[in-house]
Every structure is written in C-alpha cells, then in structure tokens.
Amino acid sequence: MNTHKRLKERIAHHTTRLGIQGLNKLNLPNSLLIIPDGNGRWAKQSGLTIEEGHKMGGLTMGKILEAFMNLNIKVVGVWGFSEDNWKRPQEEIDNIMTVVKATIDQNLERLKKNGVRFMVIGKKDKIKKNYPKLYKTIEKAQKETSRLRDKTLVLFLDYGERFQLEEFALARNKDGFSTTYELLTKINNGLPMFDMILRTSGEKRTSGFGPLGSLAEFVSVEKNLPELGKSDIILALKEYSQRQRRFGGR
C-alpha cells in the first residue's frame, strides 16, 4: 500500500512538473498577486482550530513558492495581512504573525538559492513595536536578498488602499512632475502594477488592495488556501493566458 501511494505521488509530481514547464510556453503574467484566503474555513470544515488552519496555509504558500521558481513570472506578491485584519481577535493576529515569521524562516535559503529578492511593503510601526522578532526576520531576509534580481517576492503586510493613498499623497506633495504610474512605482520600491490577481476560497473581490491591482486580470480559485495545489496554479495561469487584455482598446 505504501509503495502504491509513493508511486502515485511520484506520478502526480512528474505530471505537475511537466504542466509547469509547459506553462512557460504560454502568455504568463509578468507580475502575479496572490490573495490567500480560506484558512479559517478550511480549519472549521476539517474540525481543526484556526491556528492549525493558518499553519497549513503557511506550508501551502511554501509549496506554491516552489512552483513559481520554475515559472517565467518575474514578480510574485502575497497579501499576507491587510490593514483591516487588525480587527480580528488578538490571539488570531498573534498566530498569523507567528506563521508569517516561520514561513519566511523556512524559505529564506530557497529564495537566496534561486536569486529571489524578498521585500515587505506596508506600515512598519505596529509590526516593529508588537512583533519585534518578526520585524528582525523581515529585515534580515530583505538585507540578505537585496542584491538578487532574478525574481522578486513581495509580502504585503499591514497593507491596503488607505495606506497606498496616504503614501501617494505624501509622494505627490514632494513631486509634482512625475506621472501617476511613476509615483506608484517609486513608493512601491520599483514594483510594476500587477497583471494578474489570484484569490483562493472562491471569493471574487480584491478587498481594497489598492492601485497596484487596479488593472489586473482577476482569477478566482474555489479551493481554500490549505487545499491549493500546483495543479490549481496551472489551471489558473492557463485561464489567464487565454484572456485578451485590451486596456480600453480593441
């Protein structure tokens, strides 16, 4: 039975790898934003605690990151914690921050090995004050990958539209000549606007992510984040590749 299970896993892994390699022949997004959702719902359906749901979500993000190492996608963003998520119970917030720290720690060497620059964008004050260990982990990861340029992984933490509008207003006050796009790029450490947004758990909204996602193609995946596999990523990217982006033209 164990031999049969291992064989099935090897076949599935080989099939997924072939699928990922085939994706690189398609019209993939240059920049992809993931809005991970459904950890709590998955945990409830599975008879587990929310804490266990967030832990499994963190492990899933590690697996997804592995898939993107083999894809012709330059920038991957993950909206890890919104400015509205502070409304959640303190125990859950603490757990999310613990999972974020663990996920960075577990994947830092992989990022360095694959030439991936790691960045965090969002308000820093609360994180620095209330979660100093996480803040130190973030600073360490950013410093150790700052010279890498093959790909960029950006984590949006304590981030949302209000934060972006405030940052943009401050930047515009200092710079009255640059275009809107140039200022957006400047306040976001050189990030382009996202081409595609992928959201899990079947939700079909951007939840006030902000201007960087305003022109993106939206693809919703029905599965909750802990259930997401590489095959789901393959299907989502294939859906994106079939769309025609006219940006107001014909």
**Tens digits of per-residue pLDDT, 204-225?**
889 999 999 999 999 999 999 9
- Asked if residue 89 belongs to a domain, the reply is yes
User: Looking at residues 94-123, what average pLDDT do you find?
Assistant: 96
Q: How many domains does the chain have?
A: 1
Task: Give me the catalytic one of 2, 24, 30, 37.
Answer: 37
Task: Give me the catalytic one of 70, 85, 114, 232.
Answer: 85
Catalytic residue at 85? yes
- Asked if residue 247 belongs to a domain, the reply is no
pLDDT at residue 247, as a whole number: 55
pLDDT at residue 139, as a whole number: 98
pLDDT tens for residues 163-191? 999 999 999 999 999 999 999 999 999 99
User: Looking at residues 46-62, what average pLDDT do you find?
Assistant: 95
Q: Which range, of 35-39, 76-80, 203-207, averages the lowest pLDDT?
A: 203-207
The answer to whether 99 and 174 are in contact (CB under 8 A) is no
- Asked if residue 65 belongs to a domain, the reply is yes
- Asked if residue 164 belongs to a domain, the reply is yes
- Asked if residue 246 belongs to a domain, the reply is no
- Asked if residue 226 belongs to a domain, the reply is yes
Q: Where are the strands (E) in 57-210, listed by range?
A: 75-82, 116-121, 151-159, 196-199
pLDDT at residue 68, as a whole number: 85
Catalytic residue at 224? no
Q: Give 18-21's long-range contacts (Cβ < 8 A, gap of 24+).
A: 19/230, 19/231, 19/234, 20/67, 20/70, 20/71, 20/230, 20/234, 21/70
Answer yes or no: pTM beyond 0.95. no
Using 50, 70 and 90 to split pLDDT, how confident is the model at 109?
very high
- Asked if residue 48 belongs to a domain, the reply is yes
Using 50, 70 and 90 to split pLDDT, how confident is the model at 11?
very low
